[in-house]
Amino acid sequence: MRAAAALALVVALGGVARAQPQRLDPSTLPAASVEPPQIVLLTFGVGPRIFEKFGHAALCLYYDQSREEPTCFNYGVTDFNEGSAMVWHFLRTEQKFWVEPESWSAMVRFYRAEDRDIWMQVLPLPPDQARAIEQKLLYDIQEDHKYYFYDHFFDNCTTRLRDMIDRATGGKLSDGAGVAYPLTFREIGHSGLSEFPFMTALADYVLGRQLDDTPTLWQAMFHPDVLRQQVEDKLHVPARRLYKRRGPAFPSDGPTDRLPALGIALVFALPLLVATWRRRFQRLALAWATLYLALGGVVIWGLVLVSSIPGVRWNEAVFVLMPLDVVLPLLRPARRRTYARVRVIGLALVSALVAIGIFHQPLWIPILSAFMPLAIVAFSEPA
């Protein structure tokens, strides 16, 4: 196609200078062109930073007769310098993202400098469908319409493009996309973050049962790789690679650091076992073990109480680690043993619910980490 050849030439001439994508002033863009545009989907591979591990996507307008370079629309813009305020806003699903127009050459230069794969698909749309996407893009960059609240799985920079293409094509992407995707949300996350195995272990504690749901193929299109493949399959437009990463491939599988997480729990539990056996320093060892139990409970329960994200709020780990465990060193020996035995029974019940599939989260490491110190207290005599 002429558009594909012209755009490839723009990439070749783009250079590799490292720069942030150049954001364009929306007021300089025309309301609409006389000719209908070519709609180009750009998808980008993963990068080295943790927030780049799920790729990126953008839609671009290319006018065949225009001398101007294509304009791309980036829905992944936010203020990453907000610090702790940004963390709070993410937890409350209140982090504002917005769309901004960027020049094609600046966008491509940036991702080439990042050494990230770049694919291009010129969507085979008739003029009326191309116009519908053009009008939506130009509408979304207006100040009153550009903002949205980001959700990693259900409303992100890629789902916005998915929805736009689907509406314009009369539902071609959503047609037949209600089937189950072969991975759960948690497994998709592990694949993306396999370079950071501690994140998988941490997710067992702080991310809840929603991540163990199996998404539909439609929902899985939150990921740029899945969207690119579905555009290829359903719109019959193969992806053309404009740039191939030169560095080594990033791993998509690997260790989970769940056993090291259990090792950290042992560091807190073993001193209590030794102190109980030797009848020395039991109070100090108990306080040390309680630090793990209570601090873990405070973090998990705190996230559940303050977050509006379903994947954080509905967390089965609240039945494993509890802030109330802070009372252990304060109770008299008999009451302490009774409390610990009740907690051990509760952990046994949670284990049964996991075993029969009522609880879905991978809770075995959190359960063992809590069971060890509580069982020592429950079934030993104090000095």
In a domain? residue 44: yes
Count the Cβ atoms, other than its own, within 10 Å of residue 85.
12
In a domain? residue 209: no
Kindly state whether residues 320 and 233 are assigned to the same domain: no
Residue carrying structure tokens 């973090």? 299
CB 25 within 8 A of CB 122: no
Least confident of 86-100, 119-133, 235-249, 353-367: 86-100
In a domain? residue 205: no
Kindly state whether residues 304 and 355 are assigned to the same domain: yes
In a domain? residue 74: yes
Residue 3, pLDDT > 50, answer no
The per-residue pLDDT for range 356-375, each reduced to its tens digit, is: 999 999 999 999 999 999 99
The domain of 357 spans: 258-378
Percent of the chain topping pLDDT 70: 90
Kindly state whether residues 169 and 305 are assigned to the same domain: no
Kindly state whether residues 140 and 281 are assigned to the same domain: no
Residue 241, pLDDT > 90, answer yes
The per-residue pLDDT for range 160-192, each reduced to its tens digit, is: 999 999 999 999 999 999 999 999 999 998 888
Kindly state whether residues 329 and 236 are assigned to the same domain: no
Rounded distance, CA 169 to CA 173, Å? 8
SS3 content of the chain, % helix, strand, coil (to 5): 50, 10, 35
pLDDT band at 26 (very low <50, low <70, confident <90, very high): low
Rounded distance, CA 285 to CA 275, Å? 7
In a domain? residue 106: yes
Kindly state whether residues 230 and 268 are assigned to the same domain: no
Domain count, the chain: 2
Count the Cβ atoms, other than its own, within 10 Å of residue 183.
15
Rounded distance, CA 199 to CA 90, Å? 17
Nearest in space to 120 (alpha carbons), one of 225, 224, 238: 238
